């Protein structure tokens, strides 16, 4: 598989909430070959706390993001520790999903001459970015997959994140905060049924405590606390209508999406709930809702270790790409 990676930058970037980045950087990686007509491009944004290396498992000839057919671009979100973030940028300002997708658009044009996307595929915060792409760039986006995401962060989702934010800020040390964050997150990201059935045993863990320590605590200990806090802000303020184009009118923003939209929530997701997508669906011109029938909660949308859900997602996305 042909791959390429690098860092793209833009100087003196004015942000949506009034701050300025003297130099905004996006770390990116591509997979596959760009067609002569530049008509085979899939954008695959990162999710909360993730680097491109955490999500690139889906870029595979055995999955829907097939690099033998498509040119797949993963832009790392600002605040994820690779692209511009508090850990690598002094006096880092608040950034929004709007800021991220505007820079991604500029990057694609300047680096690759790409002005149209076959698909934007996103899970979780990546799904919020996919929704923003559809709402902001109209004719430039043919399809979007909103996998366990929403057009606007729901109130209950916001409250969940408040618990994470206050835990990180109240801890005596960053490491203590990150360990506590992992344990809280473990209860939200997977369903009650997952734990009742002790499905963590199938992932190679000997006990529930082993799962919490080696999976959840370890996952967040890889990251910088301030980066995670900054990305929480971006998540909490996710809203495709929060811009001058739609002026807070969410229904108008949904109706403004010209792309074919696949809404793909998980039946057991505890914070990006199917009901959010059900309320969005009637306002979409070309929308379809297909629920992942899974007990893996939010993690059903990123089923690296869950072949059944991966096969379900592959089939739905391939159908959309062939439509």
Catalytic residue among 51, 52, 132, 298: 298
Tokens 């893996």, residue located: 296
**pLDDT tens per residue across span 300-315:** 999 999 999 999 999 9
Using 50, 70 and 90 to split pLDDT, how confident is the model at 213?
very high
Q: So what's the pLDDT on residue 315?
A: 98
**pLDDT tens per residue across span 139-185:** 999 999 999 999 999 999 999 999 999 999 999 999 999 999 999 99
Give the residue-averaged pLDDT of 186-198: 98
Catalytic residue among 124, 191, 241, 294: 124
Quickly count: other Cβ atoms within 10 Å of residue 165's Cβ. 16
Of the candidates 40, 36, 72, the residue with the CA atom closest to the CA atom of residue 57 = 72
Q: So what's the pLDDT on residue 175?
A: 98
Measuring CA to CA, how many Å separate 20 from each of 17, 24, 92, 150, 239?
A: 9, 9, 9, 27, 21
269 is annotated as an active-site residue: yes
Catalytic residue among 227, 269, 309, 314: 269
**pLDDT tens per residue across span 264-310:** 999 999 999 999 999 999 999 999 999 999 999 999 999 999 999 99
For 214, what's the count of Cα atoms within 13 Å in the CB-facing half-sphere?
11
Give the residue-averaged pLDDT of 8-33: 97
**pLDDT tens per residue across span 106-136:** 999 999 999 999 999 999 999 999 999 999 9
CA dist 312 and 189 (Å) reads 19
β-strand 71-75 against 20-31: which pairing, if any? antiparallel
Structure tokens at 323: 């439509």
CA dist 182 and 222 (Å) reads 11
124 is annotated as an active-site residue: yes
Tokens 């089939």, residue located: 315
Task: List, in sequence order, the alpha helices (H) in the chain.
Answer: 52-55, 97-112, 125-137, 155-170, 174-189, 192-196, 208-211, 218-221, 225-236, 250-255, 274-280, 307-321
**pLDDT tens per residue across span 66-119:** 999 999 999 999 999 999 999 999 999 999 999 999 999 999 999 999 999 999
CA dist 178 and 191 (Å) reads 21
């Amino acid at each position: 598989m042909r791959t390429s990676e690098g860092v793209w930058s833009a100087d003196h970037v004015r942000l949506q909430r009034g701050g300025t980045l003297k130099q905004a950087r996006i770390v990116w990686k591509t997979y596959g070959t760009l067609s002569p007509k530049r008509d085979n491009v899939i954008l695959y944004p990162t999710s909360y706390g993730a680097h491109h290396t955490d999500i690139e498992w889906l870029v595979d000839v055995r999955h829907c993001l097939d690099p033998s057919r498509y040119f797949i671009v993963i832009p790392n979100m600002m605040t994820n520790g690779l692209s511009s973030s508090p850990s690598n940028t002094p006096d880092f300002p608040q950034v929004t999903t709007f800021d991220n997708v505007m820079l991604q658009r500029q990057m694609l044009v300047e680096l690759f001459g790409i002005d149209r996307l076959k698909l934007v595929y996103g899970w979780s915060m990546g799904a919020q970015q996919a929704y923003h792409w559809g709402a902001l760039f109209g004719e430039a986006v043919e399809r979007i997959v909103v996998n366990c995401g929403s057009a606007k962060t729901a109130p209950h989702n916001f409250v969940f994140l408040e618990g994470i934010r206050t835990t990180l800020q109240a801890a005596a040390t960053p490491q203590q905060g990150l360990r506590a964050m992992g344990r809280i997150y473990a209860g939200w990201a997977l369903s009650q049924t997952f734990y009742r059935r002790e499905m963590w045993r199938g992932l190679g863990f000997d006990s529930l405590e082993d799962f919490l320590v080696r999976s959840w605590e370890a996952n967040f200990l890889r990251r910088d606390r301030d980066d995670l806090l900054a990305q929480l802000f971006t998540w909490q303020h996710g809203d495709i209508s929060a811009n001058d184009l739609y002026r807070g009118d969410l229904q108008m923003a949904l109706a403004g999406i010209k792309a074919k939209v696949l809404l793909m929530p998980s039946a057991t997701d505890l914070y990006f709930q199917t009901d959010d997508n059900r309320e969005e669906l009637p306002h979409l011109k070309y929308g379809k809702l297909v629920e992942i029938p899974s007990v893996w909660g939010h993690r059903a949308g990123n089923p690296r270790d869950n072949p059944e859900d991966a096969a379900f997602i592959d089939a739905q996305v391939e159908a959309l790409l062939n439509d």
